Amino acid sequence: MEGLSTVCGAGSTQSRNSIAIHIYAANSDMKDRAFYNSDGDFLIVPQLGTLDIQTEFGHLEVPPNHICVIQRGILFSVRLPSGPSRGYICEVFNGHYELPDLGPIGANGLAAPRDFEIPVAAFEERTCDFTVVSKYQGRLFQRKQDFSPFNVVAWHGNYAPYRYDLSRFMVINATSFDHADPSIFTVLTCKSVEPGVAVADFVIFPPRWAVQDHTFRPPYYHRNCMSEFMGLILGEYEAKKEGFMPGGASLHSTMAPHGPDRTTFDRASTEVLKPVRVADGTQAFMFETHFMMNCTPWGLKTCGKIQPDYYKVWQDLKSNFYSK
């Protein structure tokens, strides 16, 4: 996939116990070229521009506020009908994305199985100079052939790419008092073999009602045993109104304390609590992993987008215990 830059990752592909987060930015179609990833599965989150993805299983159209998953070994080619394109990819090297077990949420809630759309079989019988690129253990290999590989006429089984429209997410949250964990916004999870410990969770912060009484409603201040990589698809994020733009990203590492900025703290601490809409017209998301992430040179420097004074948003916060 053209223009793909890796931001951060953990583990190594060789141990299969690892994860990588990429950002892509592309301007042109993959003409007579296809790609497959031998290493793991891609969860793709377009932020700008619709992706028209041709796969061996058929076509997927993926506009922003939708996601798609293309699994290990599946050939695909991307067209950009709406012009330049930008987005996020979370690659997992073992296991697959699946719906979380819902527990007491029961039979309905969060993402519904019936909203995950798989392609209708489609094929082309076409002679041409075609190039297939494969990523194997992080390196790229290519082969040439004189026909299109999208010549699969039918398929069965459940190993197939799919897309999901994030606006279909049925939001669950606290409706009397107190604050639910962000895990309640989990769309998909890639489980590790350790129960309760995710290789990767894909979590969104969708439009919804907030009604909790006697509660500090923004995300609370916390340290976490997970790494939190946040991105923004649309609008502005509810816990950080400034400095976090669509297409941007933040990474809060394992055990690094974080929370809302001073302005958000003050507002949320003083406003009268009644039912309000939050996050209308916006869609922030999080890739969360139990791995400790390393940033690539691209992520730390080459991209040229680092906010060196990000930490200052917390500088203003005061100790409130006695002085209050």
Scan residues 226-255 and list those touching its own copies (CB under 8 A).
253-255
Q: How far is CA 115 from CA 68, 121, 204, 274, 324, in A?
A: 12, 18, 16, 32, 49
Cβ at position 242, least distance to its own copies in Å? 23
Cβ at position 90, least distance to its own copies in Å? 18
Which candidate in 22, 66, 258, 290 is catalytic?
A: 258
Q: How far is CA 99 from CA 110, 187, 192, in A?
A: 9, 7, 14
Cβ at position 308, least distance to its own copies in Å? 15
* Neighbour tally for 106: CB within 10 Å: 7
* Residue (206 or 246) nearer to its own copies, CB: 206
Tell which positions 152-211 bind its own copies, by CB under 8 A. 153, 156, 169-184, 186, 193-194, 206-211
The DSSP element (H or E) to which 268 belongs, if any, is helix 262-270
Tell which positions 273-312 bind its own copies, by CB under 8 A. 275, 290-292, 294
Do residues 128 and 205 lie in contact, with contact meaning Cβ atoms separated by under 8 Å?
no
Amino acid at 33: R
Question: Is 242 a known active-site residue?
Answer: no
What do you get for the CA distance between the two ends of the chain, in Å? 54
Which candidate in 56, 91, 228, 288 is catalytic?
A: 228
Question: Is 258 a known active-site residue?
Answer: yes
* Residue (170 or 245) nearer to its own copies, CB: 170
Among 28, 142, 151, 302, binds its own copies (CB under 8 A): 151
**Which residues in 19-48 are b (16+ Cβ under 10 Å) and which e?**
bbbbbbbbeebbeeebbbbebbbbbbbbbe
* Residue (267 or 277) nearer to its own copies, CB: 277
Task: Tell the burial category of 193 from Cβ atoms under 10 Å away from its Cβ (0-12, 13-18, 19+).
Answer: exposed
Token readout for 234 is 């649309």
Question: Is 56 a known active-site residue?
Answer: no
Cβ at position 303, least distance to its own copies in Å? 21
* Residue (52 or 56) nearer to its own copies, CB: 56
Cβ at position 139, least distance to its own copies in Å? 11
Tell which positions 23-52 bind its own copies, by CB under 8 A. 36, 38-39
Question: Is 61 a known active-site residue?
Answer: no
Cβ at position 124, least distance to its own copies in Å? 11
Q: How many CA atoms lie within 13 A of 268 on its CB side?
A: 23
Tell which positions 55-114 bind its own copies, by CB under 8 A. 72-73, 94-95, 100-110, 114
Is residue 129 a contact point for its own copies (CB under 8 A)?
A: no
Among 84, 147, 242, 266, binds its own copies (CB under 8 A): 147
DSSP letter string, 134-148: EEETTEEEEEEEEE-
* Residue (48 or 317) nearer to its own copies, CB: 317
Among 10, 44, 67, 68, binds its own copies (CB under 8 A): 10
Is residue 321 a contact point for its own copies (CB under 8 A)?
A: yes
Question: Is 96 a known active-site residue?
Answer: no
In whole angstroms, give the CA distance from residue 278 to residue 209.
6
Nearest 5°: phi and psi at 167?
Answer: -75, -10
Catalytic residues, by residue number, are 179, 222, 228, 252, 258
